[in-house]
């Protein structure tokens, strides 16, 4: 049965900007087979050969960056400035990073056995085969092509299943990769809905998923049936703590950008703010003044905020704000859809008088909302910050460096910023991932490419003796030797006793 074409709509205007055919089950199977054939050739390329193609790809991206910005902005509603400063910047930097670092991270590692010195031990990293990337709609270039880069450098083929809301960016990225000289079918894009993603899980050798907790659990359950590895970056409800000795100007600026960049549609967005009572009102006033100064509008204008991307998500934001107001929250600015536009525009919003009985403080929002809560001290702030099923990111603002590091260690999150926000994602050297229901696995750093590999341990004999001590036949002499040897090697404190005996003999 032929399915209806997928309609891609501009979230800023609601108009249809493209119509695409949905992949059939047969096409998913064919894509996996073609990817597997391409990968058999690709894995024989050296790291230098792969890197040269990546650099050529980056040059083509640079030549087409205005076209890319148009496509990303049209299907997400985000400002063109954010496409350049976030999507394109990340991709350019990631290409250079992985081109330079992959060989180092995947170099065979010599292991020195603590006991069996007659053995040479080496741990190696080899490609898994076909990696499936299932991505969300908030960063349709970073989380598709950007996620594919380390997998490709590790020697894999990649099939991307982008969000049905934003497939055009991934399609353009794959086309430009082909123009750069990437082998046919090495980087493919499958268009469709959740059922296409499920079929991809059934075909791939590993799945990298970014999205909601609920969908991530479904991905994990399906993957475990085939015992294939998964990497899951899921939701977040990231806290920001502002202590009374903070640089309030910096804290307020970081809060507004960290909460509202990409209209708050970032996994590591600041989604709840805890401020010590002595500076609470000053901080709130600074944040409100900055939020009111923000410009919102179409992506081709000089604006800080565009539209949201998903109708479902803007409805969720409205419901959370309504729930908060019913339970006593006050809206200091925003709190509604922008009446000046027909698309999915929600005004940047500041809420106060919030508490943890409100959905806005418990559930992921993924929208342009800043809820600010007054706390008595750092201990209360830390307790509330950890009162969440999520644990992706967090931030602490204070001039007390020692206290900041102690609190950062106690925050239950995979990443923590001190006197900063959202910077974790753009440091590709540093592993990034979640705790609790925010996911498993890491992107970036050595872990970010090794997850796309099979780790193999090779043990080689060094001396070539005709027979190892433990080999057959078993004899009483062997057993007696082992019994005595175990007492010498493993009895607690025997080394100290031996040294004491030697000292007494010398005395």
Q: Where does residue 143 fall: left (phi above 0), alpha (psi -120 to 50 degrees), or beta otherwise? A: alpha
Pick the catalytic residue from 267, 271, 304, 347: 267
Residue 417 designated active-site: no
Q: How far apart are CA 495 and CA 474, in angstroms?
A: 29
Q: How far apart are CA 360 and CA 368, in angstroms?
A: 12
Q: Specify whether the CB–CB gap between 360 and 327 falls below 8 A.
A: no
Of the candidates 113, 119, 151, 115, the one whose C-alpha atom is nearest the C-alpha of residue 135 is 151
Alpha carbon 406 to its chain centroid, in Å, reads 25
Work out whether strand 369-375 and strand 390-391 pair parallel, antiparallel, or are unpaired. unpaired
Q: Specify whether the CB–CB gap between 370 and 270 falls below 8 A.
A: yes
Q: How far apart are CA 406 and CA 5, in angstroms?
A: 54
Residue 109 designated active-site: no
Work out whether strand 238-242 and strand 395-397 pair parallel, antiparallel, or are unpaired. parallel
Give all strands of the β-sheet with 417-418 in edge-to-edge order: 330-333, 349-352, 369-375, 270-276, 238-242, 395-397, 417-418
Pick the catalytic residue from 147, 164, 233, 364: 233
Q: How far apart are CA 496 and CA 403, in angstroms?
A: 40
Q: Which residues are catalytic?
A: 233, 267
């Amino acid at each position: 049965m032929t399915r209806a074409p997928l309609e891609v709509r501009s979230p800023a205007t609601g108009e249809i900007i493209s119509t695409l055919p949905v992949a059939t089950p047969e096409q998913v199977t064919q894509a996996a087979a073609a990817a597997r054939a391409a990968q058999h050739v690709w894995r024989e390329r050296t790291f230098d050969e792969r890197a040269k193609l990546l650099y050529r790809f980056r040059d083509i991206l640079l030549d087409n960056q205005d076209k890319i910005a148009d496509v990303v902005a049209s299907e997400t509603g985000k400002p063109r400035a954010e496409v350049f400063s976030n999507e394109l910047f990340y991709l350019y930097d990631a290409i250079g990073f992985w081109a330079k670092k992959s060989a180092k991270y995947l170099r065979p590692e010599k292991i020195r056995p603590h006991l069996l010195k007659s053995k040479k031990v080496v741990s190696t990293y080899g490609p898994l085969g076909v990696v499936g990337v299932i991505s969300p709609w908030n960063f349709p270039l970073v989380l598709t092509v950007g996620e594919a880069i380390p997998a490709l450098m590790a020697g894999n083929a990649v099939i991307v299943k982008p969000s049905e809301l934003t497939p055009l960016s991934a399609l353009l990225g794959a086309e430009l990769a082909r123009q750069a000289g990437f082998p046919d079918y090495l980087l493919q894009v499958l268009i469709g809905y959740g059922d296409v993603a499920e079929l991809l899980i059934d075909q791939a050798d590993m799945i990298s998923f970014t999205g909601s907790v609920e969908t991530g659990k479904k991905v994990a359950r399906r993957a475990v049936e085939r015992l294939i590895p998964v990497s899951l970056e899921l939701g977040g409800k990231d806290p920001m703590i502002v202590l009374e000795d903070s640089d309030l100007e910096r804290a307020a600026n970081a809060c507004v950008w960290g909460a509202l960049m990409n209209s708050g549609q970032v996994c590591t967005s600041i989604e709840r703010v805890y401020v010590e009572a002595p500076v609470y009102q000053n901080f709130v006033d600074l944040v409100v003044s900055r939020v009111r100064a923000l410009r919102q509008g179409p992506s081709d204008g000089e604006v800080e905020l565009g539209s949201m991307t998903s109708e479902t998500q803007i409805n969720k934001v409205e419901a959370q704000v309504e729930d908060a107001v019913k339970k006593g929250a006050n809206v200091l600015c925003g709190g509604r859809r922008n009446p000046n536009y027909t698309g999915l525009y929600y005004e940047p919003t500041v809420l106060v008088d919030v508490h943890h009985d409100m959905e806005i403080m418990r559930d992921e929002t993924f929208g342009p909302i800043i809820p600010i809560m007054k706390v008595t001290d750092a201990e209360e702030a830390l307790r509330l910050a950890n009162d969440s099923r999520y644990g992706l990111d967090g931030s602490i603002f204070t001039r007390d460096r020692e206290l900041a590091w102690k609190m950062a260690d106690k925050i239950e999150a995979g990443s923590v910023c001190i006197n900063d926000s959202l910077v974790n994602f753009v440091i590709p050297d540093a592993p990034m991932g979640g705790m609790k229901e925010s996911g498993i696995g890491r992107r970036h750093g050595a872990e970010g490419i090794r997850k796309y590999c099979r780790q193999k341990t090779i043990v080689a004999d060094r001396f070539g003796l005709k027979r190892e001590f433990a080999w057959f036949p078993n004899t009483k002499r062997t057993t007696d030797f082992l019994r005595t040897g175990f007492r010498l090697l493993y009895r607690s404190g025997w080394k100290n006793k031996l040294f004491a005996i030697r000292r007494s003999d010398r005395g």
